[in-house]
Chain A
Amino acid sequence: MKRILLLLVLVGTGVGCSHVNAYERGKLAHPTMTPGGMGGPGEEHMYSVQEGATGGDTAGGGGCGCN
């Protein structure tokens, strides 16, 4: 738990990170750098059914809707 809290503090405060200006963000704007997960809805649905775990998306989604 201490390691997780330390990680969150480091990410939040930006320790070890560079300050990147808007004109330096060409690479960050590339289509493969989207902040969300890379899997499409079909792939995400498959993993949600085959794995007992859940989570990782930044926004809530709908239920599986399967019985």
Chain B
Amino acid sequence: MGVATASPSARAEGNLTAKVGAETSVFQDSNATTVFTPTLAAGVESPTAGWGVNGRYLVDVVSAASPDIVSTASRRWMEVRHAGNLGLRYKPGNTGFAINGSTSYTPDYLSFSGSGTFTQDLDDKNLTLIASYGLGYDRIGKTGTPFSVFSRDFVYHMISAAVSRVVSSSTIFTVVGDLQLERGDQSKPYRFIPLFSPQDAGKIGAGASPDLVSNLRLQEKPLEQLPLARDRYSLTGRLATRFSGSTLRLDERLYADSWNMKGTTTDGRYMIDLGERVTVWPHLRFHYQSPVDFWKLAYVSNGPADIPKLRTGDRELGQLINVGTGLGFRWALGSAGDKNAWVLTATVDGVYTKFFEALYVTQRLSVLGVLNLEATF
């Protein structure tokens, strides 16, 4: 569980509202990966004029010693990622525009992206149409090697359209369609793929140990190679309904892509008011995906001249199920006249993952704890 602090110093002037937030999260999984993430966020907006600006900065401190790392006889590694974004929005009436820019940096990965969003309210704000386009550019490198010596460019286009409809005085339903077009080589430059003779491939079962893989694999050990283009589609339905003392949130996402992965994700929260200041909620999430069409538990080779053209060891490209459950807590700490001026939010989520056909591991347990404090002036 993380700890967060905030020292707000903003001051309201006229009709301006300022928000300052601090969040800290800690992630740990059963594959010896730990991520510690402190985040700072701030924003200023004018509700009457319809404009707002906000920004966020976070640091990911990642420490890992997964079976993939152990299998290559590498040591536990640690890496720090810096990420930030800045957003501007203007919506004086029924029509609004927003732009957002973000960047992140690690010694071996540089990422930039920008997006623009158009919003139109119709039918006395009972219907809202949203369209957005984003462009991302990533530079993939290797730690210890300058980008000028080794790097790959990776470009992606993000196109989104959403329709949000007020169904009744207590229910909103939203449908979001997303298209993401990815171009470039996103293969991991550190990920070696073991190859096996046709005779030995059948001896490799799901969760095969690093020792067994090391004993049976062929001498050739090529790097991962993914297709150079991926088109990703998703359709999400989002229902929010408010009862007298509680709120139900349900999301369902259907996903497919040009690598022939198909997936479904269901996410639900039931938020219960405990008095005027405290809200608690259970959280459930289920995700299933089929493997990409070039996924193999054991790639077969008949010799150095017979390397599979496409190959991966990324378990998140294989068939898997995630089952997640969690608890959330929101405490409005402000004064009697402005309870939401200070809000403390804490969540704990655990996820069990079942990998159906992967080397080294067949399951994973992970826990994420988040503590967030936000002040509004």
Whether A43 lies near B100 (C-beta < 8 A) is no
CA A22 to CA B240, docked complex, whole Å = 18
Given contacts A11-B165, A54-B178, contact A59 B98 (CB under 8 A): yes
Residues of B279-336 whose CB lies within 8 A of A = 279, 285, 287, 289, 292, 316-317, 320, 322, 330
Across the two chains, which residue of chain B brings its CB closest to A15? Answer: B165
Given contacts A43-B368, A65-B81, contact A52 B316 (CB under 8 A): yes
Fill in one digit per residue for B87-129: 1 if any A CB lies within 8 Å of its CB, else 0: 0000000000010101111101111110101000001111110
Whether B189 lies near A67 (C-beta < 8 A) is yes
Whether B169 lies near A28 (C-beta < 8 A) is yes
For B134, what are the chain A residues with a Cβ–Cβ distance below 8 Å?
A: 59-61
What 9 new A-B contacts, CB under 8 Å, besides A20-B126, A42-B37? A17-B168, A40-B23, A46-B366, A50-B366, A57-B160, A61-B134, A61-B158, A62-B112, A66-B60
Tell me the B residues contacting A by CB distance below 8 Å.
Answer: 23, 25, 27, 37, 39, 56, 58, 60, 62, 81, 83, 85, 98, 100, 102-106, 108-113, 115, 117, 123-128, 130, 132-134, 136, 138, 140-141, 154, 156, 158, 160, 162-170, 172-176, 178, 180, 188-190, 232-238, 240, 242, 247, 249, 251, 253, 255, 261, 263, 265, 269, 271, 279, 285, 287, 289, 292, 316-317, 320, 322, 330, 340, 345, 347, 349, 351, 353, 366, 368, 370, 372
Tell me the A residues contacting B by CB distance below 8 Å.
Answer: 4, 7-8, 11-12, 14, 16-22, 24-28, 30-35, 37-38, 40-43, 45-47, 49-67
